[in-house]
A and B are shown apart, each in its own frame.
Chain A
Amino acid sequence: DSGVTQTPKHLITATGQRVTLRCSPRSGDLSVYWYQQSLDQGLQFLIQYYNGEERAKGNILERFSAQQFPDLHSELNLSSLELGDSALYFCASSSSGETEAFFGQGTRLTVV
């Protein structure tokens, strides 16, 4: 158990819908990262927050957004969902950019 909790574990939704994925980082970790892993692609970095502020942005679509709340949990919002958004979404946390990041078990999103 990495200490990073992601909910829900599985999510099935229809095209055009909006979903919210939640991540609770390890206790004390200030940095949260979101990744997407599709079947045909590797782990793609989406976005990083550090102590509530956005710090780095990767290949995140405009339909996707994220935030980190004062209690340090983070949410990834995916809207206008398309079939191609079906993927595993992982959250990771670290205490700083120099310490190791620990990953949650992911949310498997299926868009039908």
Chain B
Amino acid sequence: DAKTTQPPSMDCAEGRAANLPCNHSTISGNEYVYWYRQIHSQGPQYIIHGLKNNETNEMASLIITEDRKSSTLILPHATLRDTAVYYCIVRVGLGAGGTSYGKLTFGQGTILTVHP
């Protein structure tokens, strides 16, 4: 699986947009970009994923560059409850062959702190 690079920490003011960057310059054509977050030792929570196109759901937006070498997770209106460790993961899909069968490999992530 491709390696990802994220800043170790970021701050954001409550109510403002949080933009979390991720570099995945060695991503392959069959690898998806996934974002998860972990709030204080709880189970990681799925946020969003994409392959090529930008994606949006009720939690966040995912912007993937055209060359797919980087992406940005956007939390449009951050709240104090969004304080967490955010993980950017690239993941090979089941149909892509190989033996990874979609396992998620977590890096160190970005600690996002939302301030009042």
Contacts and interface: CB of A to CB of B under 8 A. Distances in A.
Which 8 pairs from chain A and chain B are nearest by CB?
A: A97-B102, A97-B94, A103-B43, A98-B93, A43-B106, A55-B101, A100-B46, A97-B101
A42 B109 contact: yes
**Most chain B beta carbons < 10 A, residue from A35, A44, A97:** A97
Given A50-B101, A97-B101, A104 B106 contact: no
Contacts of A2: 43, 45
Contacts of B103: 33, 45, 48, 55-56, 58, 97
A101 B107 contact: no
A90 B101 contact: no
B21 interface: no
Interface string B34-51: 100010011111100100
Categorize the interface residue count of chain A. Answer: 20 to 34
A83 B95 CA distance: 40
B104 A33 contact: yes
Nearest to A94: B102
Contact of B102 (A4, A31, A90): A31
Given A31-B102, A45-B104, A97 B92 contact: yes
A65 interface: no
B9 interface: no
Given A98-B93, A100-B34, A105 B43 contact: yes
Interface in A36-92: 37, 42-45, 48, 50, 55-56, 58, 88, 90, 92
A90 B104 contact: no
A58 B99 CA distance: 11
9 contacts: A31-B101, A45-B103, A48-B102, A56-B100, A92-B104, A96-B94, A97-B93, A97-B103, A101-B102
Contacts of A98: 32, 93-95, 102
A25 interface: no
B105 interface: yes
B108 interface: yes
A48 B43 contact: no
B34 A104 contact: no
